[in-house]
A and B are shown apart, each in its own frame.
Chain A
Amino acid sequence: MRKGLIQATDGFERIVHWSLALSCIALCITGLGMMYQSFNFIGDMMGGLKSLKYVHNFTGVFFGVALYFTIRMWWKEAGIFSMPEDLAWIRCAGGYLWHVDKVPETGKYNPGQKMFFLVVAGFGVIMFLTGLMMWFPLSFPPLIVRLMYVLHALGFVVIFAFFFVHLYLGTIGSPGSLDAMLTGWVSRAWLKKQHPKWLKEMEEHGTLVVYGAEKPSAKGHH
Chain B
Amino acid sequence: MAEITKLIDVSKCTGCRSCQLACKQWNQQPAKQTENYGTYQNPPDLQSNTWTLIRFQEIAEKDKVKWLFRKDGCMHCTNAACVKVCPSGALHYTDFGTVAVTNSLCIGCKECVSACPFEIPRYDRVTDKIYKCDLCLSRIEADLIPACAKACPTGAITFGDKNAMIKKAYARAKELGGDANVYGDKFVGGTHVIYVLTEKPRVYDALPDKPCVPFSLIVWKDMLKPLSLLAAGGVLAGSFLHYILHGPKLPDEPGKEEKGGE
Chain B 91-125, CB within 8 Å of chain A: the 1/0 string? 00000000000000101111101110001000100
Chain B residues contacting A49 (CB-CB under 8 Å) are 87-88, 105, 107
Q: How far is the CB of A146 from chain B (nearest CB, A)?
A: 4
Contact B249 A96 (CB under 8 A): yes
Chain A nearest CB, measured from B186 CB (Å): 23
How large, as a class, is the contact surface on chain B?
35 or more
Does A12 count as interface, using CB distance less than 8 angstroms?
no
> Does A82 have its Cβ within 8 Å of any Cβ on chain B?
no
State whether the Cβ of A53 lies closer than 8 Å to any Cβ in chain B. Answer: yes
Residues of chain B lying within 8 A (CB to CB) of residue A132: none
**CB-based contact A153/B225 at 8 Å:** yes
Q: In the complex, are the beta carbons of B87 and A154 less than 8 A apart?
A: no
Q: Given A53-B109, A95-B261: A172 and B248 within 8 A (CB)?
A: yes
Given contacts A100-B261, A146-B216, A150-B219, contact A37 B89 (CB under 8 A): yes
Q: Considering the complex, which residues of chain B in the window 187-222 have a beta carbon less than 8 Å from any beta carbon of chain A?
A: 214, 216-217, 219-220
Q: How far is the CA of A173 from the CA of B236 in the complex (A)?
A: 12
A175 at the interface (CB under 8 A from B): yes
Q: Does chain B have a CB within 8 A of A156?
A: yes
Pick from B228, B234, B243, B246: contact of A153, CB under 8 Å: B228
Q: Is B144 an interface residue, CB under 8 A from the partner?
A: no
Assuming the A-B contacts A160-B231, A190-B251, are A150 and B262 also in contact, with contact meaning beta carbons closer than 8 angstroms in the complex?
Answer: no
With A49-B105, A146-B217, A153-B224: A137-B262 Cβ-Cβ less than 8 Å:
no
Residues of B near A103 (CB, < 8 A) are 260-262
Q: A49, A163, A176: which has the most chain B beta carbons within 10 Å?
A: A49
Q: Which residues of B contact A172 (CB under 8 A)?
A: 243, 248
Instruction: Verify A34–B87 contact, CB threshold 8 A.
Output: yes
A102 to B259, CA, bound (A): 8
B217 CB contacts on chain A under 8 angstroms: 146, 149
Of all chain A residues, the one with the shortest Cβ separation from B115 is A146
Distance, CA A157 to CA B223, complexed state (A)? 10
| Shortest Cβ distance from B256 into A: residue | A189
Asked, given contacts A97-B246, A157-B227, A172-B248, whether A137 binds B108 with beta carbons under 8 Å apart, the answer is no
Does B254 belong to the interface (CB within 8 Å)? yes
Q: Which residues of B contact A98 (CB under 8 A)?
A: 246
B232 an interface residue at 8 Å Cβ cutoff? yes
Knowing A40-B88, A96-B249, A193-B251 are in contact, say whether A153-B220 is a contact too (CB < 8 A).
yes
Residues of B within 8 A of A183 (CB): none
Q: Is B25 an interface residue (CB 8 A)?
A: no
- Mask: chain B, 230-262; 1 = CB below 8 Å from A; 0 = not: 011011100100110010111111100100111
In order of increasing CB-CB distance, the 3 nearest A-B pairs are A189-B251, A168-B239, A34-B87
- What is the interface of chain B, defined by CB distance below 8 A to chain A? 85, 87-89, 105, 107-111, 113-115, 119, 123, 128, 214, 216-217, 219-220, 224-225, 227-228, 231-232, 234-236, 239, 242-243, 246, 248-254, 257, 260-262
A interface residues (Cβ-Cβ under 8 A, vs B): 34-37, 40, 48-50, 52-53, 95-103, 134, 137-138, 142, 145-147, 149-150, 153-154, 156-158, 160-165, 168, 172-176, 187, 189-190, 192-194, 196
